[in-house]
Structure 1
């Protein structure tokens, strides 16, 4: 995953008006039902009354209004919690996934998924939300009031494949610590899910060229920083020169790829971090949330890696140059972060080999 510059999206005045009107209607509906319905359910006649007041049918029919009671069967209302919001069907794809937005995001991503970087077929990609407008999962419940107002915010939209966005992420939106919106402002919320727009994902996630798997680079940096006193740059050089220094790595058959002494030190460090509650997990949390090491994706990356490696070796046999990147002018469309990590490793190996020959 690499950083993506968010494109400027030019919406027509009509599109802007429709988006504002949709958000205003949602806010008005939630205010109306919250103030005027002291009972526990929103009945059919209540929805009919909302329609008669002129609220949009899609919003009314997909409105959620229920009371969660901490212990089923209790008749008292102490501890009752109101769940109020909308299901995903309430949000109009023609407004958040209109041609202007979709085309701009596809161009910015070069047709690849914002998260897994796989080149997406025409019928497999769409505009999705970073913060899920129908609410985030908390245990078995969905907290629906959190992000509905961001449904049409272009800063909350990205282009992604169906596997990343629907099969894996869905309504998951973990935070590092503290509350979600609306209990805190958007800028005060601390998401653990990496956003390729607005931050550099390579600070948190990198790829092992030995197995084509994503790993939590932020955690590896913290491990070497606290156990060896290495900087971010020194850690990056270390694992590029020897991917066996990346802890807790296996091949597709389950055979260990990491140096055994590194793994032992890493496990001891993890235990200490768990006791202090200080383990950095944004990278690994994002990998898990999006399924970035799902088998089909790892196999696709491994196949691409083999093609790059053959091209590299073919160039190396014909050239006396050392430490140049023969693929630099052929930077790929998909799996760009993996490409960077693989080239760094191969370059360092080539440099070491050239030094040994000298």
Structure 2
């Protein structure tokens, strides 16, 4: 694995800036390695935006932050045709989606038309504007953030779009020691004001080459079967936990098993291995599955959360 050292260097560089969000940083790098999009959900002040911006700074790639608002239009993302009188013709002005790393900040504040434009970019790596289809850069990935508690001025993401995210990461508060370290680093921040949080560690070609190496990570047939069993268990949890026979309205799609395979291979690569273990699958499974499950009304009335259901299935479904 020729490029593992560079990826590990990037991961260490992220730790030098972000305190107490090790799982989030792992998932951002997994998204980069697997070529998937990442949705980060957490309360304000938990370094969601800072973590994504720091990852972008560590890669010598074109980065664009888009602040999603209710008045955003599809053309604000994709670009639009502009008439040039001196040439007597229309010229297409590319929108921010033509960059390589996109930070979609507060993604749930944009209306349905904007989400539809983003959906094509996320799934097909292309956009259609002005009657023409244009390809996006090979590295293209969306890292989106949303706040779980705000309701005014927000639009729930449609299930079809949620399914396009490789991972849905949820954040919690840091520990007391981590919060103390955040205070100390903040006091010293004025010394580096105006500088990038970290220097670029790798370029686009290295990141793409590392992705190719992730595809070479070995996944044993028994581990593949375990991934499929987990995905199918979300559709019929009653087969594993009888009390949950009516708990799920819609389970994870086949795309969930693909996400598990790609993300577990990327996590194994990040851990310095060239093979996937069942523990890799168990670690990454909640982030691959939680946004692909719709609980029934009865389950919600009983206060059953998606995370609790996934944890119960991980305990019930035997690992190889």
Larger radius of gyration: 1
TM range (shorter): under 0.3
TM-score, length of structure 1 as denominator length? 0.23
Structure 2 length-normalised TM:
0.25
